[in-house]
Amino acid sequence: MQKRRLGRTDLLVSQICLGSMTWGQQNIEAEGHAQMDLAFSRGVNFIDTAELYPIPPKAETQGRTETIIGSWMKAKGNRDKVIIASKVVGRTGNTWFRGDRPSKLVRADIFDAIEKSLTKLGTDYIDLYQVHWPERDMPWGSNPTRVGAVPRRADTEGAPAGETPIAETLAVFEDFVKAGKIRHLGLSNESSWGVMRFLVESDKGTGPRVASLQNAYNLVNRTFEVNLAEVCEREQVAFLPYSPLAQGYLTGKYDHGARPLGSRSQLFNRGQRYETPNAAEVLLEYNKLARSFGMEPALFANAYVSSRPFVTSNIVGATSVAQLDTALSSVEVRWTEEMQKAVDAIHQRVGNPCP
């Protein structure tokens, strides 16, 4: 398992990052611990979580995932060997994050989020603290290619009324870095403009420099390559792709309309991002392509993401150790020119059906 530098920081993270959003809902504590045991035995040193988790978000489950990670680190006594990434929610009308009010990216709310996460994780610092989504009025994933996804514009120069300026948010994180509560700052579900705005402000001395970006990336959503790949490459911002299996649609288990009992789509009906017009046909084509190379679709899809030269760490998720074993094995796959040409041939024809 290779280790790669996280942006311009001194952190070396494994090329696979262990996602955790199922722990506390689809997975009980013991199952989360078993996944961490397996991942770390295979060279992983990087775990991604969020104050929001587990998914789907609910008031009664929120925060369980961080608690499960905290209990595992306490039992193992290995906090110094774990690189923890967590997240603060962006603007939301849900009052159960802050206890009595909607949340924004302002000082009081960020302070509340960090203190609660530190307590649940049982640690006094978080290695990488990320903005889960922008406060700006943006489509989910900040992806301008989605149908009808037109960001709200400011009527006058500056931010729209009620929107916290990025510079103000960034200054808050500077205080937490100086206090030693977080080591580095990251973004998630952010656009090219948003990443550059954060970088411009930090270059002006406003706050910490963004170290990483976490956006969706997989065979049916390669929109990162359009603009963000250049931003991250030139600005030395690490890319941490999530959803390499397109919420399980690139495993083959949902082919031909199947909805296996206990699967995320069957349990929660949250797969609309991968149920767009023509998506089923395209997903089936990629899954068939994987099998033509003698691989299960889940291994092929993860190997594709893990092999991209602009990927620092591929965030994988699983609900069983068998699924996780497959994801971890993706780094051992030799991604060939023939595979890439076959993938690109489909992509050139169908584009990004699930942005």
The predicted structure's pLDDT at residue 201: 97
Q: What is the model's pLDDT at position 72?
A: 98
Residue 263 lies in a domain: yes
Largest Cα span, the chain: 57
**CA 32, 35, 40: angle at the middle one, nearest 5?**
125
CA quadruple 303, 304, 305, 310: dihedral sign? positive
Is 313 within a domain?
yes
Q: Which helix (H) or strand (E) holds 78?
A: none
Distances in whole angstroms, Cα of residue 236 to Cα of each of 3, 108, 201, 210, 215: 16, 30, 16, 9, 16
Does residue 158 form part of some domain? no
CA-based nearest residue to 352, from 294, 277, 264, 269: 277
Find the CATH number of the domain harbouring 81. Answer: 3.20.20.100
Q: Is 159 contained in some domain? A: no
- Which of 53, 129, 274, 286 does the annotation list as catalytic? 53
Tell me whether residue 156 is in a domain: no
The answer to whether the CB of 63 falls within 8 A of the CB of 26 is no
Q: What is the DSSP letter of 272?
A: G
Nearest Cα to Cα of residue 18 among 82, 61, 78: 82
pLDDT number for residue 146? 61
Q: Burial level of 4, CB count in 10 A (0-12/13-18/19+)?
A: middle
Whether 193 and 151 have beta carbons less than 8 Å apart is answered as no
- Residue range(s) defining the domain that contains residue 262: 3-145+164-350
- Which regions in the chain score pLDDT beneath 70? 144-161
**What is the Cα 79 distance to its own chain's centre?**
21
At residue 67, what is the residue type? T
Of the candidates 102, 93, 312, 89, the one whose C-alpha atom is nearest the C-alpha of residue 212 is 312
Decide if 63 is inside a domain: yes
Domain count, the chain: 1
Tracing tokens 């994988």 back to the chain, one arrives at: 316
Beta bridge partners of 239: 213
Q: Is the residue at 157 inside a domain?
A: no
Residue 18, strand partner residues: 47, 316
The per-residue pLDDT for range 31-53, each reduced to its tens digit, is: 999 999 999 999 999 999 999 99
Angle between helix 321-329 and 29-41 (nearest 10): 30
Q: Give the Å distances, CA to CA, from 166 to 60, 171, 196, 313.
A: 31, 9, 11, 26
Asked whether residue 25 is assigned to any structural domain, the reply reads yes
pLDDT value, residue 205:
94
**Annotated catalytic residue 304:** no
Closest CA to 164 of 312, 173, 123, 293: 173
